[in-house]
Amino acid sequence: MMRSLYSGVAGLKTHQTKMDVIGNNIANVNTTAFKSSSVTFADLMSQTTQAASGANATTGVGGVNARQIGLGVKSGAINVNITGQGSAQSTGNPFDIMITGSNFFVVSDGLSDYFTRDGSFYVDGVGNLCMTSTGYNVRGWGVDPATMEIKKDSVQSLRIMSAENLTYPPEATTLGTVSGILDKNDTDINSEDGKFLNFNLYDALGYDYTARFRLKSTGNDGEYSVELAKLLDATGTEVDISGLDDLFGGDTSVEDPAEVVFNSNSYLWNGTELRDINGNVLVDLSTIDFDAAEGTAEYDALMDAYETIADAYGFKADEFRNLYINDGATPPNKQKVEDLIKAIKSGATPNLADLDGNGIAGMDDGSGNTTFNFTADGRMFEGAVLKFDTDTGLFSSIAGNPKGEAKLLLSKIIPAGATGTSNFEDISLNWSGISMFNNNGTSTLTATYGDEDGLGTGRRLGDMIGVSIQRDGRIYASYDNGMTKLLGQIATASFANASGLEKHGDNLYQATMNSGSFDGIGVDVTASGGYMSTGVLEMSNVDLSAEFTEMITTQRGFQANSRIITVSDTLLEELTNLKR
């Protein structure tokens, strides 16, 4: 009777333990990433009243089984359903992460590493990715600054909001692409001013500029001149490029005859002076410094003089200065109008009648007032000659390069106040994608920065506008200049026996001798087929229907064991009642 009494007590204690586990499961039914536990029973021990005996072949008596009386029950094991995946709950928070698979996040309190399935994270005041509940740092791998790829060495705290990550540095444009159709019947292409093509670019400080190219027919079928007419900053202010040589492919000349007619109704020449019709001096070449340095008042006066003289002949200043006349030699020497203007100041009397063979009087023949009409044989420009195959209409070459590349040598531009260093990079423009097909007199040329793969575009300074976490745990920042940057990767831990982990509280686990150790490096979550999802959290894997069912059987088991004690007590009472 005493044995049954203590068996009942053991049963009560064991069922109480099971009820404790069930109660804890139900209490954590809404705990993030909680893993339910279950209890298995084992018999406690047995008292052997008679050992088993074997058969006796001599007497023919058979064997007898052992006689054992059980002495109760105990908890055999408490198992954690640690591999059971909890359901996903959407939160919309990009730093809430759920692991699908058997891996664990690695977090640290600064002294030890812990493991968790709770992916409720946030960014703290110094930019570290941390657990919301404990503030422990989330561990992962950093980025190798040399390769900008993940460096999978020892795990470290992930500082994703550092000062250097909040902005993306600017970069100068180095590549460009021209595409579209150049129609030979386009009136702009055949005009004096030519057709303009804008190309947007960035310097090394992230300032944006517009390079404005002028395309003009050379008079030869399928041949056009390309030159950089202007470079404008973001405010529309023109960057001075007039004093630079070889800015776009080197000096090039084209035979392009043009009638140059002096406007004698509004202007007149008198020696070195250009006057208006009333005799007012507009330009006195004797006072002009043709060697003035850019950025000085003398240089500005020189540019104004060129503009005024060109206006008297109905030309733009740069266009007029670069007109030339062949001197008749073999091969001919090209006499630029700019050089003729300089010769007037030096006292020379350029005899254009000898140069162009048309018998036209010189700029100043000594009579005081002289017109200056002549025929230019062509023009010189800083640029390149663009050619098409007239049979197919396809691109042929630019600056003699059949591959279509022409260099825009912007590195020659030194900003005011800089010590010999340019903020610009040379830009390789690819023209091979254009054609010369009939498009009803309309050209559709466009120029874009970057090549067809999106490289070399350049960019302005970018501010961080968002952070995203990929399925493999890689963390990327996006910036308002269109760039993205790899900030790091969340590492995970994998264990041979995850059920052997020891609960530490706060949804944390510690490694034990039976779980397997953490190597300090971690693994990529996708290595074992898992992945991470953002904006969701893993919920508890507690199954309430199963827990309530277990609660019923536990209650009945507890109730039955209590009856054992009650009945055993009644038997003892009957025993004591034998003597009255």
- pLDDT, tens digit, 9 for 90 and up, residues 147-184: 889 999 899 999 999 888 999 999 999 999 999 999 99
Instruction: Report how far residue 83's alpha carbon sits from residue 102's, in angstroms, rounded to the nearest whole number.
Output: 6
pLDDT of the residue at 233: 92
pLDDT of the residue at 30: 93
Q: What token pair was written down for 508? A: 């944390």
User: By percentage, how much of the chain surpasses pLDDT 70?
Assistant: 93
pLDDT of the residue at 251: 62
pLDDT of the residue at 20: 94
In which residue are the tokens 């947007």 written? Answer: 200
- Which contacts (CB < 8 Å, 24+ apart) does range 372-375 have? 372/260, 372/262, 372/269, 372/313, 373/259, 373/260, 373/261, 373/262, 374/260, 374/325, 375/257, 375/258, 375/259, 375/260, 375/325
Instruction: Report how far residue 271's alpha carbon sits from residue 340's, in angstroms, rounded to the nearest whole number.
Output: 13
pLDDT of the residue at 250: 62
Q: What token pair was written down for 161? A: 């909001």
pLDDT of the residue at 355: 35
* Residue 351 pLDDT > 50: no
pLDDT of the residue at 2: 77
Q: In sequence order, what E strands does 23-71 have?
A: 37-43, 46-50, 67-70
pLDDT of the residue at 299: 85
Q: pLDDT digit string (tens) for 35-93?
A: 999 999 988 888 888 888 888 888 888 888 888 888 889 888 999 999 899 999 999 89
Q: What token pair was written down for 316? A: 């733009």
Angle at which helices 337-345 and 297-312 cross, to 10°:
110
Confidence of residue 185 (pLDDT cuts 50, 70, 90): very high
Confidence of residue 324 (pLDDT cuts 50, 70, 90): confident
* Residue 271 pLDDT > 80: no
- Residues 274-302: what's their mean pLDDT? 86
Average pLDDT, the chain: 87
* Lowest-pLDDT range of 82-96, 225-239, 345-359: 345-359
**Do 397 and 143 meet the contact criterion of CB atoms below 8 Å apart?**
no
DSSP assignments along 192-236, one per residue = SS-EEEEEEEE-TTS-EEEEEEEEEE-SSTTEEEEEEEEEEETTS
Residue at 15: amino acid letter: H
pLDDT of the residue at 193: 81
Confidence of residue 416 (pLDDT cuts 50, 70, 90): low
Which residues, 6+ apart, have CB-to-CB distance to 247 below 8 Å?
A: 228, 241, 382, 408, 409, 410, 412
Confidence of residue 362 (pLDDT cuts 50, 70, 90): very low
Instruction: Report how far residue 402's alpha carbon sits from residue 72's, in angstroms, rounded to the nearest whole number.
Output: 96
pLDDT of the residue at 524: 95
pLDDT of the residue at 357: 32
Q: pLDDT digit string (tens) for 459-506?
A: 999 999 999 999 999 999 999 998 999 999 999 999 999 999 999 999
Instruction: Report how far residue 544's alpha carbon sits from residue 300's, in angstroms, rounded to the nearest whole number.
Output: 87
pLDDT of the residue at 53: 86
Residue 296 burial (C-beta neighbours within 10 Å; 0-12, 13-18, 19+): exposed
**Do 78 and 37 meet the contact criterion of CB atoms below 8 Å apart?**
yes
Angle at which helices 2-27 and 544-576 cross, to 10°:
160
* Lowest-pLDDT range of 207-216, 331-340, 522-531: 331-340
Confidence of residue 363 (pLDDT cuts 50, 70, 90): very low
Confidence of residue 335 (pLDDT cuts 50, 70, 90): confident
Confidence of residue 418 (pLDDT cuts 50, 70, 90): low
pLDDT of the residue at 551: 94
pLDDT of the residue at 506: 93
Q: What token pair was written down for 335? A: 């006499």
Confidence of residue 365 (pLDDT cuts 50, 70, 90): very low
Alpha carbons within 13 angstroms on the beta-carbon side of residue 5 total 9
